[in-house]
Amino acid sequence: MINWIKWLVVGAVLLLSIAAAAVYTTLYLSLPKLDGNSATYHVTQPTQLSRDSLGHAVVNAENLFDAAYALGFAHGQDRFFQMDLQRRAASGNLSAWVGSAALDTDKNARFHQFEQRAQTVFENLPSKQQELLIRYAHGVNEAIDEYTTLPFEYIAAGMEITQWRPTDSILVIYSMYLDLQDGQVKLDLARTALKDTFGDDIYRFVTQQSHFQAALDGSELPLSDAPIPEYPSQFKAADESKNESENADTQAYNNRSINGVLLNDLARYTDPRYNRARYSRARYTYRGIELPDIGSNNYAVSGNITPTGAGLLANDMHLSLRVPVIWYRTQLNYSDAGQDVSITGVSLPGLPGIVVGTNGNIAWGFTNANLDNVDWVALNSDTETTKVTETIPLPSGAHEYTMEVSEFGPVKTLNGKRYALNWVAHHKFAANLAITDFGGAKSVDEAIDIGKRIANPTQNLVMVDSEGNTAWMPGGAVLHREKASYTAISEQDMRNNPPRPATMLPLVKNPVSNRLWTANARVISAKDVSRLGDGGYALGARGRQIRDRLFEKDTFTETDFYAIQLDNHAQFLIPWHNLLSGLLTMQNVEFKPDLTYLNTWGACACDDSVGYTLVKHFRREVVQTLFGEILSSLDEQGVQSRTLLRGIEPATWQLIQSQPSSWLPEGTDTFDELLVDAYRRAKHKLLDKYSPLEANMDMLNWGSVNALTVKHPFSAQIPLIGDKLNMAPVPGFGDTYMPAVQSTGFGASERFFVSPGHLDNAILTLPGGQSGHPLSEFFTSGFDDYATQAATPLLPGDIIYSRTFYKKEEE
């Protein structure tokens, strides 16, 4: 019997070993070929694609078209899965891979009809840009034609690879529109629903301006002096009914005894059973949290305050972090109009060219500008529309999706009324490849001219040059309008202002302060707001903190700029900390341990700070308590209310400071009671999640609660070895409302510091490796520097691999 068991175990181990060897062999065979020579019809002169020890792709070509081919080849070797996800996300074809779980995502993309729009954009591009996309696509396709076996993602999903089309690169641009501006689409609809449901007073109260904005010219928008409106009356009856039930539950609990003794005042503070009953009392359960501040930080100083006399630029674009990382280290070397060009920075797999980088004469970076580029058009009752049916493929079968389309755009129905979407992304001027022209720019002035031609999601474009000049401008497609709108407009308003690109955009060059900063908040002058609008600006606390850091020193280096990017000082939450500490001090018996954590919080989003976690979640719970019922009612109408949370801070503090009784839930006597109850709920929700058995508050340190986990999209679906596809977890460092932005799967997608003409000191640190292949030596390369906040050099190192492409002679 023992021998049989022994042989069964041996046999099982042998079978597992064979299976593992087969998986490894399959993966190994799909590794790309990095050395050697190739013949192709798609280059005009010998073109070299090399890589250093980080996998940094270095292209040497005679012209930009040959360089585009080689870059497409590199992207196809290292990142085709990522590129495929991008085009599928924009075209609404994710469900074919992951099934019905992605249907809502696909329907949202199909609503915008990006597949058809990509063809229109391509046909309207200049011939040079069309040729760039064609050459790039040839490079991608010749790379995937070399696959000996399919990449593991395709084997796991049972999917075949389809060739890359030139229009797929336009879809990649549209995927960035969805990342960067889809929040605007949802915000304007949420604003419309808020105003229509609760009236002008509540609308103005919830969406009022804050004092945090730090415009480049120092201009300010007037703050609200309107009285706080009464809490919406339509909720009062529901509150009273709900409160009667909750009071009965609480009274029944209070009448229970512990070992025969009724709960007294001291016991109700120390017995966790009471606290669990108490913290469940809230006006309305609402779990919405602020959207992440997508779009990032960039800042610059002129040569007047650098040791070298050249301008200095920092850029860290905040995006969702995943495996593989979104950006790709690239250097393109080619000739243009008789001049040698060398551009180093990051490219976006799916597109030819460098997105953020430097050519040694200039450097440029982007953050999401949040100018208003969206209008919802309230359709008349008799306006004719048409029905369009789209077929969304599934792993087995298909789903029919029917949408409504008007002359003004696709239609959504809200509370029985139809609204058509006019979004800049829907127009043929929404996308182009003008960004590739930065390679030849010699100065900030030349870069400004290029910036005026760029078409992509509107960005804060910040530029510096080797002569010490600096400039900021909106770079990208901007809708023209005489007056921006934040809620739905009429058909007549739309006809009076037909869609066209905006001209006469603002520009700031060489400010007297020698400093520029942007952080997704308002940087335009107050006088430009009526025309360019507010498409969902960040609250502004992060931008103001960066501005203040820039005025703390008289001279800056790359290292100084890196320190600003890593600034996790909790300036924004200090008033919340003071409020919470004061409240808990008045009830010291119950909260004595909590006060210890608050007193040692460090005023930072540091990994060992429990106090920071408590303050952050206290604020969240207060906001959800005060506004949850209002916002939830909007969600029930089919809009995304959480887009409104980005600007909720002024209204929240008005309520805390004025304490109007109508905003108290039934059964709550004072605002102090409301706030303390909110803290109890926040704390116990945290304990339920992070220490459900021991209720150990040490487990609530910010490093654990906000640990960064950069994951592969398929890791959870692959048993036993799926975790091997993820980057190692990093203790939480940073948060929203501060320069060091980070959440569990979101943060700085690159850290870039450069002074043109002094590239040996330049830094480019990425949160992942170059290759998406798990067996590649470049799979995790560079991630350790990101995790430890080290400085990875921008320039490539010694070359270790090289492919050369020769022109194939016509047969």
Domain ranges of the chain: 1-30, 233-290+570-705
Question: Is 166 in contact with 119 (CB distance < 8 Å)?
Answer: no
Per-residue pLDDT, averaged over 747-757, amounts to 97
Per-residue pLDDT, averaged over 276-286, amounts to 54
DSSP per-residue letters across 627-683: HHHHHHHHHTTTS-GGGGGGG-HHHHHHHHHH--GGGSPTT---HHHHHHHHHHHHH
* Predicted pLDDT of residue 240: 54
Does the pLDDT value for residue 269 go beyond 50? no
Does the pLDDT value for residue 102 go beyond 90? yes
H helix runs in 30-151, sequence order: 64-91, 95-98, 103-112, 114-123, 127-145
Q: Which two tokens stand for residue 48?
A: 């070299």
Please give the residue that has the higher pLDDT: either 51 or 241. Answer: 51
Helical pair 574-585 and 588-599, crossing angle rounded to 10 deg: 150
Cα-based angle 707, 708, 712 (whole degrees, multiple of 5): 135
The proportion of the chain whose per-residue pLDDT surpasses 70, expressed as a percent, equals: 90
Alpha-carbon 166 to chain mean position: 26
* Predicted pLDDT of residue 285: 75
Please state, in angstroms and rounded to a whole number, the distance separating the CA atoms of residues 195 and 536: 16
pLDDT in tens, 716-732: 877 777 888 999 999 99
Say if strands 312-316 and 297-301 run parallel, antiparallel, or are unpaired: antiparallel
Q: Which two tokens stand for residue 366?
A: 């982007």
Question: Is 755 in contact with 464 (CB distance < 8 Å)?
Answer: yes
Torsions phi, psi of 430, nearest 5? -80, -20
Does the pLDDT value for residue 480 go beyond 90? yes
Model confidence at 26, pLDDT cuts 50, 70, 90, reads low
Per-residue pLDDT, averaged over 420-444, amounts to 97
pLDDT in tens, 635-678: 999 999 999 999 999 999 999 999 999 999 988 999 999 999 99
Per-residue pLDDT, averaged over 597-603, amounts to 98
* Predicted pLDDT of residue 714: 85
Q: List 489's β-bridge partners, or say none.
A: 377
Q: List 57's β-bridge partners, or say none.
A: 51, 330
Model confidence at 236, pLDDT cuts 50, 70, 90, reads low
Please give the residue that has the higher pLDDT: either 245 or 224. Answer: 224
What is the rounded end-to-end Cα distance, in angstroms, of the chain?
Answer: 71
Does the pLDDT value for residue 275 go beyond 70? no
Model confidence at 255, pLDDT cuts 50, 70, 90, reads very low
Model confidence at 153, pLDDT cuts 50, 70, 90, reads confident
Binding residues for Ca(2+): 372, 374-375
Q: Residue 5 burial (CB < 10 Å; 0-12/13-18/19+)? A: exposed
Question: Is 540 in contact with 212 (CB distance < 8 Å)?
Answer: yes
pLDDT in tens, 484-514: 999 999 999 999 999 999 989 999 999 999 9
Torsions phi, psi of 726, nearest 5? -95, 155
* Predicted pLDDT of residue 150: 87
Binding residues: 372, 374-375
H helix runs in 362-520, sequence order: 444-451, 491-496
Q: What is the DSSP letter of 710?
A: -
Catalytic center residues: 296
Whose tokens are 């400085």? That residue is 791
Does the pLDDT value for residue 434 go beyond 90? yes
Does the pLDDT value for residue 580 go beyond 50? yes
Number of Cβ within a 10 Å radius of residue 542: 28
Model confidence at 98, pLDDT cuts 50, 70, 90, reads confident
Question: Is 453 in contact with 429 (CB distance < 8 Å)?
Answer: no
Per-residue pLDDT, averaged over 275-301, amounts to 71
DSSP-derived 3-state class of residue 462: strand
DSSP-derived 3-state class of residue 113: coil
Please state, in angstroms and rounded to a whole number, the distance separating the CA atoms of residues 431 and 119: 11
> Which of 518, 433, 522, 509 shows the shortest CA–CA distance to 464?
509
Residue type, 522: R
Whose tokens are 């590739």? That residue is 436
Does the pLDDT value for residue 446 go beyond 80? yes
* Predicted pLDDT of residue 246: 47
